[in-house]
């Protein structure tokens, strides 16, 4: 049984947004947990000193840079989320739909913090809690953004176009 190309296209779009929704949910749940379990400033070792959990509030972007530009970073995140949504709709590749969904999840996870966490809308601090040695503290949304970035580079180098023709097998 062959799946119609238009139906397959909408399945890919749905998959991208479903992955994004699940990713945002996972990020929100882990951040809520971190806010309650780590609120007293304690450090929880998960794997000795290699992987620890500690709560921080990041006003900036990657590596805590740009703390004075949080509203600008928030506006850029909104534009990036819109751009990724457009790309999901244009995608004709299962792999790109999944990667873009993961990227959207990460963007929206951190954007949610910037919009709804103190000190206020567009200035909120991102909740970070995963700590590795010699690396900035990060969160699940950051992981999704980085995994999506690596996967996108792999897809580009393997020649997988964003708008390739729809095939009947995922």
Q: Per residue in 128-164, pLDDT tens?
A: 999 999 999 999 999 999 999 999 999 999 999 998 5
pLDDT at position 97, please? 97
Rg, Å, the chain Cα set: 18
Within 13 Å and on the Cβ side, how many CA atoms surround 91?
28
In a domain, 57, yes or no: yes
| Residues contacting residue 69 through CB under 8 Å, at least 6 positions apart | 60, 61
Across 15-31, average pLDDT: 99
Strand-strand pairing, 44-47 and 126-131: unpaired
pLDDT digits (tens, 9 = 90+) for 44-55: 999 999 999 999
> What confidence category does residue 63 fall into, taking pLDDT thresholds of 50, 70 and 90?
low
Give the total number of structural domains in the chain. 1
pLDDT digits (tens, 9 = 90+) for 104-135: 999 999 999 999 999 999 999 999 999 999 99
In a domain, 169, yes or no: no
Determine which one of 27, 40, 113, 128 is catalytic.
Answer: 128
Report the percentage of the chain scoring pLDDT > 70.
Answer: 93
Q: How far apart are CA 141 and CA 114, in angstroms?
A: 13
Q: How far apart are CA 115 and CA 74, in angstroms?
A: 8
pLDDT at position 164, please? 58
CB atoms within 10 A of CB 79: 11
Cα–Cα separations (whole angstroms), residue 87 to 15, 40, 62, 134, 161:
13, 41, 23, 35, 12
Across 2-7, average pLDDT: 72
Cα–Cα separations (whole angstroms), residue 109 to 8, 72, 74:
28, 17, 12
In a domain, 165, yes or no: no
Determine which one of 27, 40, 113, 142 is catalytic.
Answer: 142
pLDDT at position 2, please? 60
138: DSSP letter: B
Is 77 in a helix, a strand, or coil? Answer: helix
In a domain, 107, yes or no: yes
In a domain, 168, yes or no: no
In a domain, 20, yes or no: yes
Q: Which of 104, 93, 84 is nearest to 12 (CA)?
A: 93
> What confidence category does residue 60 fall into, taking pLDDT thresholds of 50, 70 and 90?
confident
> Which segments of 22-86 are extended strands (E)?
44-47, 51-58
pLDDT at position 168, please? 43
Which tokens is 9 given? 């296209």
pLDDT at position 149, please? 98
Assess whether 40 carries a catalytic annotation: no
Q: How far apart are CA 137 and CA 126, in angstroms?
A: 11
Assess whether 113 carries a catalytic annotation: no
**Residue 3 pLDDT > 60:** no
In a domain, 19, yes or no: yes
**Residue 169 pLDDT > 60:** no
Give the structural domain span for 96. Answer: 5-157
In a domain, 15, yes or no: yes
**Residue 32 pLDDT > 80:** yes
pLDDT at position 62, please? 74
Give the full edge-to-edge strand order of the sheet including 126-131. 44-47, 51-58, 126-131
């Amino acid at each position: 049984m062959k799946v119609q190309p238009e139906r397959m296209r909408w399945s890919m779009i749905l998959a991208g947004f479903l992955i994004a929704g699940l990713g945002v949910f996972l990020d929100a749940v882990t951040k809520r947990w971190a806010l309650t379990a780590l609120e007293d400033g304690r450090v929880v070792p998960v794997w000795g000193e290699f992987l620890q959990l500690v709560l921080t509030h990041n006003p900036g972007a990657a590596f805590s840079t740009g703390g004075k530009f949080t509203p600008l970073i928030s506006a850029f995140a909104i534009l990036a989320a819109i751009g990724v949504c457009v790309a999901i709709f244009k995608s004709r590749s299962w792999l790109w739909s999944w990667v873009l969904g993961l990227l959207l999840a990460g963007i929206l996870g951190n954007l949610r913090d910037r919009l709804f966490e103190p000190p206020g809308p567009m200035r909120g601090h991102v909740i970070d809690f995963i700590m590795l040695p010699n690396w900035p503290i990060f969160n699940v949304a950051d992981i999704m953004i980085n995994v999506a970035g690596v996967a996108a580079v792999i897809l580009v180098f393997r020649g997988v176009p964003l708008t390739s023709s729809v095939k009947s097998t995922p």
